[in-house]
Chain A
Amino acid sequence: MNKKSYLALLGVFFLLAFKLSENPKITVYLIGDSTLSIKEKKNYPETGWGMPFTQFFDENVNIDNRAMNGRSTRSFIEEKRWEPVVSSLKKGDYVFVQFGHNDEISTKKTYTTPKEFKANLLKYIKETRAKKAIPILLTPVARRKFDAEGKVVDTHQEYAQLVREVAGKNKVLLIDLSAKSIELLQSLGVEKSKYLFNHLEAGQNPNYPDGKIDDTHFNELGARLMAQLVLTEIKTLNLTLANYIVKPAEPKK
Chain B
Amino acid sequence: MKIRYSFIVLIVCLFAFKPADEKVTIWLVGDSTIAEKLITRYPETGWGMAFQNYFDLSKVTIENRAKNGRSTKTFLAEGSWLPIQQNLKAGDYVLIQFGHNDEGKGERYKDRSTTPDEFKINLVKYIDETKSKNAIPVLITPVSRRYFDKDGNIKQTHEFYSDVVRGLAKSQQVILIDLDEMSRKLYQKYGSENSKLLFLDIAPNQHPNYPNGVTDGTHFNEYGARLIAELVLNEIKAQKLPLSKFIVNSN
Interface residues of A (CB under 8 A from B): 41-42, 44-45, 52, 55-56, 192, 195, 203-207, 209, 219-221, 224, 228, 231-232, 245-249
Contacts and interface: CB of A to CB of B under 8 A. Distances in A.
A206 B248 contact: yes
A178 B208 CA distance: 22
B211 interface: yes
A55 B39 contact: yes
A224 B39 CA distance: 14
Contacts of A52: 42-43, 222
B234 A195 contact: no
B206 interface: yes
A198 to B, nearest CB: 11
B237 to A, nearest CB: 9
A208 B205 CA distance: 35
B249 interface: yes
Given A42-B248, A56-B208, A249-B209, A206 B54 contact: yes
Contacts of A192: 194, 197
B147 interface: no
Contact of A221 (B205, B209, B223): B223
B156 to A, nearest CB: 25
B248 A248 contact: no
Nearest to A200: B230
B247 A219 contact: no
5 contacts: A44-B54, A195-B194, A206-B247, A206-B248, A221-B221
Nearest to A223: B222
B223 A195 contact: yes
Contacts, number: 62
Given A204-B230, A221-B223, 13 more contacts: A42-B248, A44-B53, A55-B39, A192-B197, A195-B194, A204-B234, A206-B249, A206-B250, A221-B222, A228-B207, A248-B208, A248-B209, A249-B41
A210 to B, nearest CB: 10
Given A203-B234, A206-B249, A207-B248, A249 B221 contact: no
A197 to B, nearest CB: 11
Given A206-B54, A206-B248, A220-B226, A247 B234 contact: no
Interface string B220-251: 01110010001001100000000000011110
B109 interface: no
Contact of A207 (B54, B209, B210, B223): B54
A238 to B, nearest CB: 15
A166 B53 CA distance: 41
B34 to A, nearest CB: 17
